[in-house]
Structures are given as C-alpha cells and as structure tokens.
Structure 1
C-alpha cells in the first residue's frame, strides 16, 4: 500500500485530508511538526509527503530539503500562501506540486495520484549502471572516478532520465545548505563531469543543456 506522510499543524485540516486519502486506498501518517515528520521519515517507507509551509518549528521549505536528504520522495506543498513568489520558490527547491488553501480534498487526492504516476521509475539511461548504496556509477562498463559533487549531480540526473532539473533543484539536492555555492558551481561541475564521460566514450554527450531551464540526461 502506498504510504503518505502528512505534515500539518491544523488538526481539522489534517483529519479531512487523512480521511480523503484513506478512502482512496492510501496509508497515511500524520505529523504536527517538522521534527515529528523527520522522525517518521527516518523510519522509512513513505512514497510521498504533503507538507504545510507554515509549521510551528521548521518551515515547510526547509523541511522539504531535509526530507530530500533522507530520501528523494515526491513532495506536495499544502499552504495558505498563494503568492506567486511562494509557488515558484516551492517548485524550484524540488516540490512536485503546490496546493493553496482552501482546497478540495478530492482534488488533492487526484494531485497525489498524478504526482505518484510521474514519479514512477523511468527506464535506465543507456550505458549507465548506478550502485546507489556503494555510491558508484559505471559508464560503458567503466567505473567513473567522480568527486562527491560530480557523483551527486550524475546520481540526481540518473534518477529521472529525460527530466529537466533546474540549477536550483540540482543545487538543493547536491549542495544543500552550502551557502558558498552558486549556480555557476553547477555549471562548473557539469563541465568536469562531461569531460570524464568523454574520456570513456568521446562520441557521445549524454548530459543535455536545456537553455534557460537546466540539465537533463539523455533517456534513449
């Protein structure tokens, strides 16, 4: 059964959401605070998280970053904020959807199902073998000698071949809260990563630059 982590400090709203999710066949766990959510997430087993932005201890955006470090699960923000800047920020840090209050529980369940469909594992990128537990990546049969950040970048792209990841998303997933990093850091590491891939196969360039959008990994 698909498990949903719901983080919402308003118990009435949480009860309504949980009822709608369970009626649609989802298993749910509810946390009132960000710290409770992190404790639950460390136990594992969740397929998607619904986060309220205005939590009493940890902001929803910061909580999203922490959850993504534990596991790269899909995230939907549930919030009273409907300002464009908030929506853009939420999506740029890697959220998969953004639902403003008041909302229809049925619509939220439909959005959950849509996000889960999009998050289904894609076909592996050709030529790559990723050992996530060992933090090793082979390309065309050769083990790549990667730095920590080169590995993080390539691992993030390998999770969803063909999907475009913005520089902000890559920064958040690979560098996290490192304040000394910038968008230029992403570009620099992509350049060195490409050079190492060309050493293995000079005829291909599997990392695609999407102008104004970010980077993607060739899916076929």
Structure 2
C-alpha cells in the first residue's frame, strides 16, 4: 500500500514539481494551496504524513498545524523559505517531526519523509485508558489482550482514531470506509459494525466509554 502524503503549498509550480517527483517515488499525493482546503481534505481522507509550507495565502503553516494536531495523528514536516533559527525552533517546539528549508533537493525531501515515516511507525501505539491501538502491527488490545477484529472493524477504529475528540457523521464514516478499502456499506450495516465493535472494546456496550453516540450528529470517539 502506498504511503499517502498531504502537500500544503501555495506555490503552484512547486506543487506540480513535488507531486510529480513524489508520485514517481511511489507515494500517493493530495495537494492543497491553503488552510481551508487542507482541512476539508483531511475531513475526507486519511494521510500518513503532511508537508506544510509556513507561508500560505489564508494563514500560515503553524496555525494549520495547531488545528490538525487537535484532531489528527499525522507526522508533519514543515517546508519554508524562512531558513532562520526562530522559525525552525518554533516549528519543532510545536511538535513537528522535521523542518526543511527551501530551496531543497527533492531527493533530500524524500529521505526526510521516509525517515519521519519510519520513526512514526515505530511509535505508533496509542493508549486510551485500558485500550491500546497498535497501528504499526494493526492490532487492538484491551488490558494487553488482543481483541479479535474483522478487517472492516479495525478500519473503523482507525477512522475513529484519526477523528478522535471530534464528532463524526455516519455519512463520513461510510465515505472513509470506501476510501480505505473500496467497500460500499449501507447505513444499517454500519450500525451493526459499530454495535459489534462496542461489544468487543467497551466495558459496558450499553453505556459506551469510547464510541459515544451523539444524537442527530453521529459518533464521538474519546
């Protein structure tokens, strides 16, 4: 499976150059020219890494990163023509995984991307109370005991994880399942899958701790 990159950059020529190069290197690349477009794309698709330019037409990469950090578990590399200590330190202090100054060689960027992905995959264990989600090994554990999940159940948990702390509509869940696996499921089938997941991960499925129903809006994973 190809690693998916979100490239946020306001220089159209650079977008085309980097997208072409990264695709030749085996990555799947989606692009945005500003904060608003990037956030809309993130609502519809999961990514393995994001490349954020600092200077954007509708804000800056730092503020976009702060918004992303609240809802998505995605490693980030900042791209910037501002090669100075202040911007480098600011980006890294915010929690970014790397910072590369323009102009850079595309080959150097690919190396940075691969190194960042390797580090993030090694530490891709999310712990929420007595639940552990091991993204690297595609496992979910409860009290350190592996839970037997179907492929689709696991993918649903990943979708919830990527939107942790945010209400997710049923339509969005159905769309993201299709984006992840190409499977089309019906609304009533989604209800069955969520019921099964709750039975496996919740201490009390009738009063869920992790996957909560928000009446009229969707679900909230906490």
Gaps of 5+ in 1: 142-173, 175-220
Whole-Å Cα distance in 1 between the matches of residues 36 and 115 of structure 2?
A: 28
Whole-Å Cα distance in 2 between the matches of residues 105 and 45 of structure 1?
A: 23
Q: Is the 8 A contact 2:126 2:132 kept in 1?
A: no
TM-score normalised by the chain length of structure 1? 0.57
Q: Is the 8 A contact 1:91 1:97 kept in 2?
A: yes
Q: Secondary structure at the match of 1:49?
A: strand
Q: Are 2:62 and 1:57 equivalent residues in the alignment?
A: no
Q: Are 2:34 and 1:16 equivalent residues in the alignment?
A: no
- Cα-to-partner distance string for 1:101-153 (whole Å, 9 max, x where unaligned): 11001100111011000010438599x73267xxxx97799xxxxxxxxxxxx
Residue number in structure 2 paired with 1:76: 77
- Cα-to-partner distance string for 1:69-110 (whole Å, 9 max, x where unaligned): 221100000010111011011001111010101100110011
Residue number in structure 1 paired with 2:46: 45
Whole-Å Cα distance in 2 between the matches of residues 11 and 68 of structure 1?
A: 25
Gaps of 5+ in 2: 134-140, 146-164, 166-222
Q: Secondary structure at the match of 2:99?
A: strand
Q: 1:122 to 1:75 in 2, by over 3 A?
A: closer
Matches within 5 A, 1:38-187: 38-122=39-123, 129-130=130-131
Whole-Å Cα distance in 2 between the matches of residues 62 and 91 of structure 1?
A: 13
Whole-Å Cα distance in 1 between the matches of residues 42 and 50 of structure 2?
A: 9
Q: Is the 8 A contact 1:35 1:58 kept in 2?
A: no
How many positions carry a matched residue from both structures? 138
Q: Secondary structure at the match of 1:70?
A: coil
Q: Which has the higher strand share?
A: 2
- Cα-to-partner distance string for 1:30-78 (whole Å, 9 max, x where unaligned): 1011100000011131110000000011210010111122211000000
TM-score normalised by the chain length of structure 2? 0.56
Residue number in structure 2 paired with 1:194: none
Q: Secondary structure at the match of 1:91?
A: helix
Shift >6 Å, 4+ stretches: 137-141
Q: Secondary structure at the match of 2:59?
A: coil
